[in-house]
Amino acid sequence: LVIINDILDFSKIEAGKLEVEITEFSPSHVVEGTVELLGAKAREKSLTLTSFVDPALPTHLMGDPTRLRQVLLNMIGNGIKFTDTGGIEVIALRSGTDNEPMVRFEICDTGIGISKQTQSRLFQSFTQADSSMTRKYGGTGLGLAICKRLVELMGGHIGIDSEPGKGSTFWFTLPLIPCTTETKAHQMAG
């Protein structure tokens, strides 16, 4: 089912048929709810799974909570999949400039890490680190490509900082649009 859903999402994105919704949401509810959903999976592997939402972030933002959750689920799921000891931490914080405020999400794991050479291919369709990874961990190689497209559709950027044997930090930024009477009225009118 996961593979079929990945392919369907990828097809919609490629065809330009995937739409981003703009609605009010709580970043802490989305982050904590996603972490809660994957908690059992982390516990099965005796991994810690924690989250931190910066109190400097507005309590409510405008954006697409469903697509945000989809990106977080994929990245946290990957963190759990590729980590054998230690854990995964999910962080949401304010970044960017006053002129262009952003929300930065980081998914940090103590997993296998990824070489610089492989990092350059990670967000391409049907790409996995190498064939031995596919045999050991499974997957379609579409998850990160879908995440990249979704983040870009929402006006953000995505990337990774990693070193083999030292874990990975996958990150993405999205425009920080506080939920105000004005932004809600604009959304209703649009």
The Cα–Cα gap between 36 and 28 comes to 12
What is the chain's mean pLDDT, rounded? 84
Global pTM? 0.84
Cβ atoms of 74 and 147 within 8 Å: the answer is yes
Residue 125 confidence class, pLDDT cut points 50, 70, 90: low
Q: For the segment 75-112, what is each residue's pLDDT rounded down to a tens digit?
A: 999 999 999 999 999 999 999 888 889 999 999 999 99
114/140: higher pLDDT: 114
Those residues whose C-beta lies under 8 Å from the C-beta of residue 31, and which sit 6 or more positions away, are 51, 53, 72, 90, 92, 105
